[in-house]
Amino acid sequence: MTDTAQSQQAQRGKQEEAHLILPAAEVDAGTLRFATADDTERALCIGAFNVAVPEDLDVRAGLDFCRTFYKPGTGDPADRHRGHREHGHPASKLGYEDRPDQVEQLQLESFLWQEYLPDEVTAVLRRMRQLTLDVLYGVFDAAWVPEADRDLITGGAPQDTGLCYTTVNHYRAGLSDRAGIVEHSDSGFITTICTDQPGYEILHEGHWLPVRERPGHFTVNLGDAFRVLTRKLPRPVTAVYHRVPELRPDAGVPDRSSFTVYMGPRYDMPLYQYDTEGRLREYQSFRDFSVEKAGKLGYDFHSRV
């Protein structure tokens, strides 16, 4: 092997080592399945993994919406693809937010998707919601969370009476000297992410590592509600700390887009935690927890909640 070939091989090896490859899973007939038990353990330890996109789910409508929701409205009340910056979304406690990083985002609760979003986007999100619920209950199984407690701790996720919403993100690469999205953990139990470009990084074993994209898969983040719930159990779940670093404009390349489905406790209910004897206890109001966390991260909590 020539010196040049050896150098190229070494460089490829360094690039491979610099990326984190997440464990992968699929949902089969409503059941979350990892390839090996080690993959399950790694997923709980990292707090993130990939899950296969169902073969019959086309996510393009969601990504297309990410690229238009922030643009000025057309004046046609039936056009729900645009105009969400100025809309107001009065029925929502969330809505549009111009964040202090590069992201502007739209957050809407699941019971409002049909009212505010294009029909084809709502259809994608409803499929993702069911997948996210199946994954959530699969992680409950892996962490040995008793079935009898799950409705209580989620606020009734299967009945859609917990907190479930989508976040639609537009990363404004033209805004300099800002993080793409500030480093943080998610507050709820689970977030399923669909994105069109790399950029997602995880704090793993003390180092920020970019996550290698796995085509045909969503990324799943596990959050603070899981960490608090399972901290004293034999198989605790990590709340993954993650970020997107500052993105630079690239001629001919559109801004990064992503959309998610999130599930967590309602703001009017408590977080729960198991004690060392396996007894379920109230830990803290989820709203108080979320307000404190927002303050630490330097942004305002939702004013309508």
Q: Which residue is associated with the tokens 């190229």?
A: 8
SS3 101: coil
Length of the chain: 305
Average pLDDT over the chain, rounded to whole?
93
Residues 278-298 pLDDT 10s: 999 999 999 999 999 888 877
User: Edge-to-edge strands of the sheet including 207-210?
Assistant: 181-184, 242-244, 201-204, 207-210
C-alpha–C-alpha distance, residues 125 and 198, integer Å: 21
Domain architecture of the chain: domains with CATH: 27-297 (2.60.120.330)
**Among 39, 38, 45, residue whose Cα is nearest residue 25:** 39
Is residue 185 pLDDT above 80, yes or no? yes
Question: 292 in the Ramachandran plot: left (φ > 0), alpha (ψ -120 to 50) or beta?
Answer: alpha
C-alpha–C-alpha distance, residues 51 and 54, integer Å: 9
Mean pLDDT of 38-42: 97
Are 196 and 258 in contact by the 8 Å Cβ rule? The answer is: yes
Are 90 and 53 in contact by the 8 Å Cβ rule? The answer is: no
Q: What is the DSSP letter of 142?
A: H
Q: Nearest 10 degrees: CA dihedral of 292, 100, 217, 162?
A: 40
pTM of the model: 0.92
Q: Which residue is associated with the tokens 């409705």?
A: 151
Q: What are 172's two structure tokens?
A: 């404004």
**Among 182, 221, 170, 135, residue whose Cα is nearest residue 63:** 170
> 274 to each of 143, 189, 232, how far by Cα in Å?
12, 15, 6
Q: What are the phi and psi torsion angles at 252 (to 5°)?
A: 85, -5
Q: What are 30's two structure tokens?
A: 């409503």
C-alpha–C-alpha distance, residues 224 and 133, integer Å: 17
Better-scored residue on pLDDT, 74 or 14: 74
pLDDT of 295: 84
Query: Percentage of the chain with pLDDT > 90?
Result: 87
User: Edge-to-edge strands of the sheet including 163-171?
Assistant: 31-34, 24-28, 48-52, 217-222, 190-195, 257-264, 163-171, 103-109, 95-98
C-alpha–C-alpha distance, residues 56 and 292, integer Å: 41
Report helix angle 119-142 to 37-46, nearest 10. 110
C-alpha–C-alpha distance, residues 120 and 114, integer Å: 10
Residues 130-171 pLDDT 10s: 999 999 999 999 999 999 999 999 999 999 999 999 999 999
C-alpha–C-alpha distance, residues 152 and 164, integer Å: 15
Residues 198-225 pLDDT 10s: 999 999 999 999 999 999 999 999 999 9
Q: What are the phi and psi torsion angles at 291 (to 5°)?
A: -65, -45
